[in-house]
Structure 1
Amino acid sequence: MPPDDALASPLALPARGRFQDPDVTATGEARASVALSDPRTLWFNTGTLCNIDCPSCYIESSPKNDRLVYMTRAEVERFLEEARALDWPLREVGFTGGEPFMNPEMIGMAEAALEAGHEVLILTNAMRPMMRPSVQAGIADLATRFGARLTFRVSLDHHAAPAHDAERGAGAFAASLEGMRWLRDHAPGARLAVAGRAFMLGREAEARAGYAALFAREGLAIDAADPGACVIFPEMDEAAPTPEITTACWGILGLSPDAVMCASARMVVRRKGSARASVAACTLIPYDPAFDLGETLDAASAPVKLNHPHCSKFCVLGGASCSG
């Protein structure tokens, strides 16, 4: 860890002075930025509508939030074609929401990415939207055709029902487990992963042991010790104090900008009222116009200035990434 005073000085300043100027921090230092050095992951936000309403959802997804409207297969295909034209070394195409299976074109969008030769990661709560017969048939078909190139990462905030249900509603844990069992039995070629929440879980070793016990009981082929298969995310509270990241921080932290998520990923969104989809810097900041990089991947290849608390707490200091 860096010396306490190396990153702490911005915390003593009024909150209104931090994360304001894209080029300069509240202490007058040059703000860090991250170049798109290895564009291997392209995300699509399928829409912010969700079947549940979680108090701590960073994107405020709910049954009523349609600030990001449904993505379409045609839009996914357009951006995948542009990625090919730009010779991006895409490995993975991710789909997030909201709940992706609320989108009626989710199966088609995943199929387009898989047929283009990419791995596909779908973030889901594995609840009722995924369990509709037409969706189940589509998932089973994709799993049969593409196998392990398809991954479902299920949101399980905790390995025990009470803590998970406190965030997602009574019965949510049982419903998600039912969906995971269905995936285990009917999409056996696809991979399963989970995502938990650090603030609920306490010490990481104990959390992973709890998940391992759950996976063993349920016969789920998920390695709880693998950070890519059992992801434990730091929290994303914009109001919580966190240092601004200066250009000097890379050396202080012993961290390369290439390790930060926006060095390797972009996310396509379609905002309500917009005529076309556009590209956001990352999955975490879909609404802020300062992080909208334009309507093409070419335009979105510009460096990203780390002018948001999520950049600091989640990505740089938290070391987290949304990709697989």
Structure 2
Amino acid sequence: MKDLDQGTPGKFLDPARTAKGEPRARVALTNPETLWFNTGTLCNIACVNCYIESSPQNDRLVYLSAADVRDYLAQLEERAWPAREIGFTGGEPFMNPQIIEMLRAALDTGREVLVLTNAMRPMMRKRVREGIAALNADFPGKLTFRISVDHWSARHHDAERGAGAFAKTLEGMDWLRDAGVTMTVAGRTVWGETEAEARAGYARLYAERGYPIDAADPGQTVLFPEMDARVDVPEITTACWGILGKSPDSVMCASSRMVVRRKGADAPAVLACTLLPYDEEFELGTTLQEAERDVALNHPHCAKFCVLGGASCSA
């Protein structure tokens, strides 16, 4: 069931038709360039507005194993997907005890690997740091960490992630900087400032810390819109592509899929979207072949985040 409030009666209920009876937009998997792995929803912190509700207690998505990852990497080759990137997200990926083995398996395919992390204590354990350093040495230029820095100031960042979180993340980023690991940043646009003001703030932070990250580049400093399924947003019809001057190929589900393992499930599942891990409507099967079917844009996130917001989780 979708987490929708009473302000949007009849919306996002029928995968074929909108509340007004118009044909709902669908997106085909036309360019599968990113395969995501959600390593599990457990996290070392609980953020105020985490879209996936990660926390030290949330194990609705349990840990993937390195064997799971290797299986889907083999399927990637069998299906001949032109994937250029393998992504790892959570929860906090470095909570998973097999994360270094998973990253090495992904890097062994020759593809770029992107890890979404808060760069806090799980990443800073000695064994993990040694593993990251070895991977970065063995696969130069192939490994990128996208660090969650909700705001360039400690005040706003800590309001989301807890007192002292900003300082701990910067400690992790300092280590990554000194280890020569490529970093980008993911921030949020919920602070009442313009995009220019936000990017200027990040630029100051990077300059102060010596981080080789471009605050003006939206690929290096990604600013995500708020994802609140209770906010009333328009449904996307087939006519919207022409009205908005957009192509279905620009939407994230045209280019990516995500593998998860649900608690109690016999096998992992493949989802259409990284943002909708709990909605059964967006579960496409257990194999990449099954996941090649198209996706109905039948959720508020499809409209606000992907089509209207133009955001993407990939690098």
Q: Same fold (TM over 0.5)?
A: yes
C-alpha distance in 1 between matches for 2:270 and 2:143? 23
- Structure 1: runs of 5+ lacking an equivalent: 1-12
Are 1:195 and 2:189 counterparts?
A: no
Deviations 1:114-167 (A, max 9, x none): 011110000000000000001000001011111211000000000010000000
C-alpha distance in 2 between matches for 1:249 and 1:231? 25
What's the counterpart of residue 10 of structure 2?
17
What's the counterpart of residue 5 of structure 1?
none
Deviations 1:247-292 (A, max 9, x none): 0000000000000000000000000000100100010001111000
Counterpart pick for 2:154 among 154, 158, 161: 161
What's the counterpart of residue 213 of structure 2?
222
Q: Which letter maps to 2:226?
A: E
C-alpha distance in 2 between matches for 1:232 and 1:129? 24
The equivalences for 1:43-82 within 5 A come to 43-82=36-75
What's the counterpart of residue 133 of structure 2?
140
Deviations 1:147-197 (A, max 9, x none): 2110000000000100000000000000000000001112x1x31000000
Decide whether the 8 Å contact of 2:7 with 2:232 is kept in 1.
Answer: no
Alpha-carbon offset, residue 14 of structure 1: 5.6
Alpha-carbon offset, residue 39 of structure 1: 0.2
Q: Which letter maps to 2:182?
A: R
C-alpha distance in 2 between matches for 1:274 and 1:310? 26
Query: 200-209 or 153-162, which moves further after superposition?
Result: 200-209
What's the counterpart of residue 104 of structure 1?
97
Give the number of the structure whose residues are more often helix, by fraction: 1
C-alpha distance in 2 between matches for 1:77 and 1:262? 22
Are 1:314 and 2:305 counterparts?
A: yes
SS of 1:43's partner is strand
C-alpha distance in 2 between matches for 1:201 and 1:62? 27
Question: How many residues align structurally?
Answer: 310
Decide whether the 8 Å contact of 2:12 with 2:18 is kept in 1.
Answer: yes
What's the counterpart of residue 227 of structure 2?
236
Decide whether the 8 Å contact of 1:158 with 1:201 is kept in 2.
Answer: no
Q: Which letter maps to 1:120?
A: V
Q: Which letter maps to 1:20?
A: L
What's the counterpart of residue 267 of structure 2?
276
C-alpha distance in 2 between matches for 1:203 and 1:144? 39
User: TM-score, with normalisation over the residues of structure 2?
Assistant: 0.97
SS of 1:213's partner is helix
What's the counterpart of residue 297 of structure 1?
288
Decide whether the 8 Å contact of 2:257 with 2:270 is kept in 1.
Answer: yes
Decide whether the 8 Å contact of 1:201 with 1:207 is kept in 2.
Answer: no
What's the counterpart of residue 174 of structure 1?
167
C-alpha distance in 2 between matches for 1:89 and 1:238? 32
What's the counterpart of residue 9 of structure 1?
none
What's the counterpart of residue 267 of structure 1?
258
What's the counterpart of residue 10 of structure 1?
none
Decide whether the 8 Å contact of 1:58 with 1:236 is kept in 2.
Answer: yes
- Structure 2: runs of 5+ lacking an equivalent: 1-5
Alpha-carbon offset, residue 16 of structure 1: 2.7
User: TM-score, with normalisation over the residues of structure 1?
Assistant: 0.95
Q: How high is the sequence identity, in percent, across the aligned residues?
A: 64
